[in-house]
């Protein structure tokens, strides 16, 4: 859907983006991860031509973006910013309607689309006549998302979309976001400096440093097959947490305790849940054991604090495959 080939962007002598290439498939969530100044935002903004490339080429849906009018291109790509960028002099309804109006949709179609979006994003109907400054930060961010989705673009670019929110709102909205039906079929490129966010939302993560992509792949690859010391250092601070989040119960199936019976009254958990979720459930239920069911064989095993950490240790020993 989106592919970059040897893209370079230089400002004066400095190369903000230094010869990067990657591809994002249709429906995939790609996360550009890195510290500030690594070139991730510049990369994102080149995709909708807010910044023009110095060399290399970018294809969107197979077409070189240089051959598309920038305005035309942007109207077909949703764009969500960190500080939402809602128009303060427009109501919520007018804000959401901006792109459809640019595309000259009829009024009825616009109104239907707005109602649909409110429903999908769990926003109350009454909010439409409000002005952005009358809303909370979380609501503003959701309206920003609704605005980006208004014309139902196949592609969404998101620049630190939750960066301006407080930690709690942020964590809630991130969870909500990962489950949103409206985003299921979108091709998304998301920029963040937050490792947890990247792991939660990214099908593919592209770790950037000094304008280059250091490593690209799935979350778990960064933990178990770091390409170099930069990658190790980058994740060092939150390694344990990330590992618990990235490893699923089925990954340590063999280390779980066998169950004597197929029937017990323990709390059940799906094998596709992460170790972290299992730990949280154990803590929450004040139980010592959870019942885990293998979806293919129907076999039941038991997970307790002990077995979870033994499994994690064993996995780290032999290296994750």
Partner 1 sequence: MREQSGKILDQLVQHIGLTFISLLIAVIIGVPLGIFISRKKKFSAPVLGFTGILQTIPSIALLGFMIPLLGIGPFPAIVALFLYALLPIVRNTFTGITGVDATVIESARGMGMSRGQILRKVELPLAMPVILAGIRTATVINVGVATLASYIGAGGLGEFIFGGIALNNTNMILAGAIPAALLAIFFDFLLSRIQKMDLRKFKKAFWVLPVCMIFLSSFYLLPDFYRSKMLAGFTPEFMGRKDGYLGLKNVYKLNIRTVVISDAVMYKAAYEKKLDVISGYSTDGRLKAFNLVILKDDKKIFPPYYAAPVIRKDVLQKFPELEKVINQLAAHINDSIMTELNYRVDYLKQSPEKVAKDFLMEQSLYKQPLNGNEGVLRIGSKIFGEQYILASMYSMLIKGNTHLQVQTKTGLGGTKICFDALTNDQIDMYPEYTGTGLLVILQTPDSILNKLNNNKEEIYDYVKKQFNQKYNLEWLRPIGFDNSYALMMRKSEAVRLKIKTISDLKNYLNKK
Binding interface with partner 1 (CB under 8 A): 48, 50, 70-76, 79, 81-89, 91, 98-99, 102, 144, 147, 157
- Residue 27 backbone phi and psi in degrees, to 5: 80, 0
Residue 68 or 266 with smaller CB distance to partner 1:
68
Question: Left if phi > 0, otherwise alpha if psi is -120 to 50, otherwise beta: which for 161?
Answer: alpha
Q: Which of 246, 251, 321, 260 has the alpha carbon at shortest distance from 289?
A: 260
Residue 147 or 186 with smaller CB distance to partner 1:
147
How far apart (Å, rounded) are the C-alpha atoms in residues 250 and 275? 9
Give the shortest CB-98-to-partner 1 separation in angstroms: 6
Give the shortest CB-250-to-partner 1 separation in angstroms: 41
Give the shortest CB-89-to-partner 1 separation in angstroms: 4
Residue 7 or 96 with smaller CB distance to partner 1:
96
Give the shortest CB-55-to-partner 1 separation in angstroms: 23
Residue 71 or 181 with smaller CB distance to partner 1:
71
Decide: 265 and 289 in contact? Cβ < 8 Å: no
What angle do helix axes 229-236 and 239-246 make, rounded to 10 degrees? 90
Give the shortest CB-75-to-partner 1 separation in angstroms: 4
Residue 88 or 319 with smaller CB distance to partner 1:
88
Decide: 74 and 49 in contact? Cβ < 8 Å: yes
Exposure on the CB side of residue 232, measured as CA atoms within 13 A: 4
């Amino acid at each position: 859907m989106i592919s970059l080939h040897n893209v370079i962007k230089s400002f004066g002598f400095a190369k903000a983006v230094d010869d990067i290439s990657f591809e994002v498939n249709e429906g995939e969530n790609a996360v550009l991860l890195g510290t500030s100044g690594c070139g991730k935002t510049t990369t994102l903004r080149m995709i909708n031509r807010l910044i023009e490339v110095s060399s290399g080429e970018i294809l969107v849906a197979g077409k070189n973006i240089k051959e598309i009018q920038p305005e035309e291109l942007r109207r077909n790509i949703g764009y969500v910013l960190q500080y939402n960028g809602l128009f303060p002099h427009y109501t919520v309804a007018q804000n959401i309607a901006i792109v459809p109006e640019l595309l000259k949709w009829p009024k009825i179609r616009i109104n239907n689309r707005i109602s649909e979006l409110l429903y999908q994003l769990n926003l109350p109907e009454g909010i439409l006549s409000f002005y952005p400054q009358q809303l909370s930060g979380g609501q503003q961010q959701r309206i920003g998302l609704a605005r980006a989705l208004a014309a139902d673009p196949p592609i969404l670019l998101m620049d630190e979309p939750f960066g301006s929110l407080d930690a709690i709102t942020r964590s809630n909205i991130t969870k909500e976001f990962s489950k949103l039906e409206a985003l299921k079929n979108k091709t998304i490129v998301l920029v963040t400096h937050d490792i947890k966010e990247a792991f939660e939302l990214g099908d593919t993560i592209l770790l950037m440093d000094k304008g280059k992509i250091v490593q690209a792949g799935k979350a778990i690859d960064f933990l178990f097959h770091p390409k170099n010391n930069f990658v190790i250092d980058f994740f060092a601070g939150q390694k344990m947490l990330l590992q618990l989040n990235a490893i699923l119960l089925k990954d340590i199936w063999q280390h779980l305790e066998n169950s004597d019976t197929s029937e017990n009254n323990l709390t059940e958990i799906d094998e596709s849940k992460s170790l972290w979720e299992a730990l949280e459930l154990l803590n929450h239920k004040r139980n010592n054991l959870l019942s885990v069911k293998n979806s293919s064989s129907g076999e039941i095993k038991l997970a307790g604090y002990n077995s979870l950490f033994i499994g994690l240790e064993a996995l780290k020993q032999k290296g994750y495959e």
